[in-house]
Amino acid sequence: MRYQIAAANWKMNLSWDEADNLLTEVLSLTASVKESQRVVFAVPAPYLDMAVGHIADKFHMHVAAQNCHSKKSGAFTGEISVQMLNSVEVEYVIIGHSERREYFNESNQFLAEKIDIALEYGIKPIFCCGEALPIRESGGQNEFVSTQLQESLYHLSAEQVKQVVIAYEPIWAIGTGKTASSEQAQEMHAHIRSELAGKYGREIADQISILYGGSVKASNAKEIFHQPDVDGGLVGGASLVAEEFVAIINALK
């Protein structure tokens, strides 16, 4: 189902008390979330259960993990399985964030395995894709993102791919304050949707939410989100400030 989604990615930030206060503040400032919209909080693992408690009686709000392992269980010290996430009622998981790809060497093939296990446990993947600056400068961004989609998603059935949320996050725009222009975002989102339509048909492609990520702020969210193929955002830095993130939620179509 193609929802308009505001997803907070807190990354490796905040203490328990800060996390608790931020959630309290965001929830108290957020008016009801529309049926066509979703708000997702991707919080650090130690706060997942707390976040699930906060949103328990809220409509259309969900908690996400920032990562998961590709195996069900076993001798993987320090890792988190989707079975665990499922058991604490986490409903989404970010898969393939560029920071995971870069610092933890996660390949498209490995991410495909994570996507599979998440779907097996009924957890919706937020699959991140996006190019680095040299690729953008050489004009290779469309081809680069197409390969990421092909290698991590295209083994899925149409029914499965509908469960996936895609986040286009150009690496050069993450945490840099340099946002893609709304035209650049629309152009890539339209490309992603047309690739999905080529593989799964237009009807399926039109049901998939494609989020933009990379220096989304209260001041630019509306313009970006109002592009026809942009279905909201995955928000890092600005999601750590209650008023900013609430304004971003309010900027959803």
Q: Which residues bind ligand PGA (CB under 6 A)?
A: 9, 169, 174-175, 213-216, 234-238
Catalytic residue chosen out of the listed positions 54, 69, 97, 189: 97
Point out the residue whose Cβ comes nearest to ligand PGA: 236
* Secondary structure (3-state) at 169: coil
Residues 6+ apart with CB under 8 A from 226: 182, 253
Q: Minimum CB separation from ligand PGA for residue 40, in Å?
A: 12
Report the residue number, 13 or 150, with the smaller CB distance to ligand PGA: 13
Q: 92 near 40, Cβ under 8 Å?
A: yes
Cα 105-157-107 angle, rounded to 5 deg: 5
Q: Minimum CB separation from ligand PGA for residue 104, in Å?
A: 14
Q: Minimum CB separation from ligand PGA for residue 239, in Å?
A: 7
C-alpha 107/C-alpha 240 separation (Å) is: 29
Report the residue number, 125 or 237, with the smaller CB distance to ligand PGA: 237
C-alpha 251/C-alpha 224 separation (Å) is: 9
Catalytic residue chosen out of the listed positions 91, 169, 195, 244: 169
Q: Minimum CB separation from ligand PGA for residue 6, in Å?
A: 12
Is residue 169 annotated as a catalytic residue, yes or no? yes
Report the residue number, 171 or 200, with the smaller CB distance to ligand PGA: 171
Dihedral angle over CA of 1, 252, 102, 78, nearest 10: -70
| Closest of 232, 253, 248 to residue 165, by C-alpha | 232
Report the residue number, 101 or 193, with the smaller CB distance to ligand PGA: 101
Q: Minimum CB separation from ligand PGA for residue 238, in Å?
A: 6
Report the residue number, 161 or 174, with the smaller CB distance to ligand PGA: 174
For residue 86, give both structure tokens: 């499922």
Is residue 97 annotated as a catalytic residue, yes or no? yes
Note the helical H segments in 105-207: 108-120, 133-137, 141-153, 158-161, 182-200, 202-205
Residues noted as catalytic: 97, 169
